[in-house]
Amino acid sequence: MANAGVQRTLALIKPDAVNRAAEIEKVITEEGFTIVERRQVTLSQADAETFYAEHKGKPFFETLIEYMTSGDVIAFILSGDDAVARWRQVLGPTKVSVARQEAPSSLRARFGDPGNDSKNGTHGSDSLTSAQREIKFFFPDLTLEAALTGEGAKEY
C-alpha closest to that of 92 among 83, 74, 84, 104 = 104
Please, which residues bridge with residue 18 across strands?
A: none
* Catalytic status, residue 55: no
Evaluate whether 102 touches 49 at the Cβ level (below 8 Å). Answer: no
CB of 152 to ligand RTP, least distance (A): 27
CB of 70 to ligand RTP, least distance (A): 12
Evaluate whether 87 touches 9 at the Cβ level (below 8 Å). Answer: yes
Q: Which amino acid is at 143?
A: T
Asked if 94 is part of the footprint of ligand RTP (rule: CB under 6 A), the reply reads yes
The catalytic residue among 38, 86, 119, 123 is 123
Q: Quick one: 60 or 151, whose CB is closer to ligand RTP?
A: 60
C-alpha closest to that of 10 among 30, 33, 43 = 33
Asked if 38 is part of the footprint of ligand RTP (rule: CB under 6 A), the reply reads no
SS (H, E, C) 99-112: HHHHCCCCHHHHHC
Asked if 69 is part of the footprint of ligand RTP (rule: CB under 6 A), the reply reads no
CB of 110 to ligand RTP, least distance (A): 15
CB contact burial 34-48 (16+ within 10 A = b; e otherwise): bebbbeeeebeeebb
Asked if 124 is part of the footprint of ligand RTP (rule: CB under 6 A), the reply reads yes
Asked if 137 is part of the footprint of ligand RTP (rule: CB under 6 A), the reply reads no
Given the rule CB under 6 A, which of 18-26, 32-40, 112-120, 142-150 is the region that contacts ligand RTP?
A: 112-120
Query: Which residues contact ligand RTP (rule: CB under 6 A)?
Result: 55, 60, 64, 94, 117-118, 120, 123-124, 126
